[in-house]
Amino acid sequence: DVKVTQSSRYLVKRTGEKVFLECVQDMDHENMFWYRQDPGLGLRLIYFSYDVKMKEKGDIPEGYSVSREKKERFSLILESASTNQTSMYLCASSSPFLAVSSTDTQYFGPGTRLTVL
């Protein structure tokens, strides 16, 4: 089974703190993603990476950065946390291509519920 793990299930931080969210996958997937999920807004893509040291901005990259030094690990960094970054953060991984006959698509971690006070 694909396994995507995230470093924390729940996190509480203060405004202005630097926050690191870690994600590790064990399926040797090339692609990794960071989303945030908010009520009424659904899943929104923050950043994704298709290879080590490569990254692409998603729909809402402002206030975030990412790091991918190893294939299995993708980190999301909040440089200076703000209250509007309180959210559920979801990491996902996938192989490069969807396939007609397999279920090789994005697999998600359990999520980190971040509260910024």
Partner 1 sequence: QKEVEQDPGPLSVPEGAIVSLNCTYSNSAFQYFMWYRQYSRKGPELLMYTYSSGNKEDGRFTAQVDKSSKYISLFIRDSQPSDSATYLCAMSAIQAGTALIFGKGTTLSVSS
Residues near partner 1, by CB under 8 A: 4, 31, 33, 40-43, 48, 50, 56, 90, 94-111, 113
Contacts 24+ apart (CB under 8 A), 43-46: 43/90, 46/76
Nearest CB to partner 1, comparing residues 1 and 69? 1
Decide the pairing of beta strands 112-116 and 10-13: parallel
Nearest CB to partner 1, comparing residues 17 and 32? 32
Least distance (Å) from partner 1 to the CB of residue 98? 5
Nearest CB to partner 1, comparing residues 5 and 80? 5
Least distance (Å) from partner 1 to the CB of residue 15? 24
The CA–CA distances, whole Å, from 72 to 19, 51, 103, 107, 114 equal 20, 10, 20, 13, 22
Least distance (Å) from partner 1 to the CB of residue 115? 13
Phi, psi of 99 (to 5 degrees): -125, 150
Nearest CB to partner 1, comparing residues 85 and 106? 106
Residues whose CB is less than 8 angstroms from the CB of residue 100 and which lie 6 or more positions away in sequence, other chains included: none
